[in-house]
Amino acid sequence: MASISMKLATGGGVRNPNFDEMKPRLEQYLRGKGYQIAGSLRFADLNGIAAMKSDCLLYLVPIAHQGWNEATVLQQTQSDQEVYFLYEGTATKAIQPRLSPMLGYYSSKFLSYLGLKHYGYAPMLAAVTTGSCDMNSEAWADAPTVSFPRLSFFDS
């Protein structure tokens, strides 16, 4: 009911960005950090990017801010892999932060409903690593933001 009233009040809605919309920006971002893009992949049934740098193999997978994918990602890793959750410049090992990412996600979505379509939010990324990857020494604060694409009232 709240969704319908919001759409009526603002003349439309928003939708979550899909992986194909985020992929070019994430690939460009990784290239800027010295990674070579090895291609797209599916990890834990999610679309992601495989990238390499020196002896580091990185699978970067956009995941839900609410924590819905955390257990699946952790269960799909092999014994020689480590998992980091990247959000707003911080790499957290094996435990996905929830409060700050959810507040950022939902406040951005609300502002997008109000018509501030360029208001971006930080994506939540799972980084599954193999080899000598030092995720804590990387500066992730400059990761690209994502915006909610706007829909007209009749698209939703």
Q: Render pLDDT for 59-113 as a digit per residue (tens, 0 to 9).
A: 999 999 999 999 999 999 999 999 999 998 889 999 999 999 999 889 888 888 8
The one-letter amino acid at 109? K
Nearest to residue 140, comparing CAs of 90, 80, 71, 72? Answer: 90
**Residue 6 CA from chain centroid, whole number:** 25
User: What's the CA gap between 95 and 104, in Å, rounded?
Assistant: 18
pTM over 0.85, yes/no: no
Cα→Cα distances 49→45, 80, 105, 134, Å: 13, 19, 22, 18
